[in-house]
């Protein structure tokens, strides 16, 4: 079983080099990429057997190795098509631009107009690829599930750059946890959020 062809690996570097220089010998690959000669020979042989290269041989010796359609489909940056290459670059750039934000609302000062402060520990959060304020959306979701809570001070709201993990919810869903003063769960689950089109926090 051969190692997978992944960007940044030695095998992919050999594939990239042969895409530019299909007539390169194993020695030229070795010198250009600063890898051992037997590694250059081995990676080229693996790429051929896996269908990423079409090789031409003379007297049993490889004289030319051309990247296949399979290689160019899996790795658009290898194609001669400027549009496909630009799309690949743009996608990579967009991925870097799209930062995740964790929008979190939790109790610090939580009050009910009738009874004053609540002893409930409340935390609700969602993830989104923008820094739009979601204080009202999160608060309304809490009130819907816990009617006794009418307000959470906005000092309990935060928006930080952080990647979601596992089953962490994306807007328009949020994870709500409500605990009583003795540590028992009053509510622990996913709730729906409404886009309230609120102004920046």
Q: What average pLDDT does this structure show over 128-141?
A: 90
Task: Give pLDDT, residue 142.
Answer: 92
Three-state SS at 154? helix
Q: Name the pLDDT band for 96 (thresholds 50, 70, 90).
A: very low
127/165 Cα distance (integer angstroms): 10
Residue 172 clears pLDDT 50, i.e. is over it: yes
Global pTM value: 0.49
* Contact between 126 and 170 (Cβ < 8 Å): yes
* Contact between 137 and 198 (Cβ < 8 Å): yes
pLDDT > 70 fraction of the chain, expressed in percent and rounded: 81
Give the pairing of strands 157-161 and 173-179. unpaired
Please tell me the CATH code under which domain 10-95 is placed: 1.10.10.10
Q: Where are the domains of the chain?
A: 10-95, 101-192
Most confident residue range from 42-46, 68-72, 88-92: 42-46
Three-point CA angle 32, 34, 40, nearest 5°? 80
Which one, of 103, 113, 114, lies nearest residue 161 by Cα? 103
The backbone torsions φ and ψ at residue 55, rounded to the nearest 5 degrees and listed phi first, read -105, 145
Q: Name the pLDDT band for 139 (thresholds 50, 70, 90).
A: very high
The backbone torsions φ and ψ at residue 115, rounded to the nearest 5 degrees and listed phi first, read -110, 0
Q: What average pLDDT does this structure show over 177-191?
A: 84
Q: Name the pLDDT band for 196 (thresholds 50, 70, 90).
A: confident
Task: Give pLDDT, residue 118.
Answer: 59
The pLDDT mean for the chain works out to 80
120/199 Cα distance (integer angstroms): 28
């Amino acid at each position: 079983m051969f190692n997978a062809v992944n960007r940044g690996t030695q095998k992919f570097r050999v594939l990239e080099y042969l895409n530019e220089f299909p007539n390169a010998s194993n020695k030229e690959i070795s010198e250009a990429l600063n890898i051992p000669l037997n590694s250059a020979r081995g990676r080229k042989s693996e790429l051929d057997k896996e269908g990423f290269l079409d090789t031409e041989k003379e007297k049993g010796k490889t004289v030319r190795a051309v990247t296949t359609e399979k290689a160019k489909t899996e790795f658009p940056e290898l194609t001669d098509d400027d549009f496909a290459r630009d799309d690949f670059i743009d996608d990579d750039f967009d991925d870097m631009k799209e930062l995740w934000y964790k929008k979190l609302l939790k109790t610090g000062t939580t009050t009910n107009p009738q009874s004053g402060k609540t002893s409930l520990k409340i935390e609700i959060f969602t993830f989104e690829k923008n820094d739009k304020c979601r204080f009202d959306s999160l608060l309304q979701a809490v009130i819907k599930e816990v009617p006794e809570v009418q307000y959470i001070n906005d000092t309990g709201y935060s928006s930080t750059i952080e990647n979601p993990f596992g089953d962490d919810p994306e807007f328009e869903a949020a994870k709500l946890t409500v605990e009583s003063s003795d540590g028992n769960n009053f509510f622990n689950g996913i709730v729906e959020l409404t886009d309230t089109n609120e102004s920046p926090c």
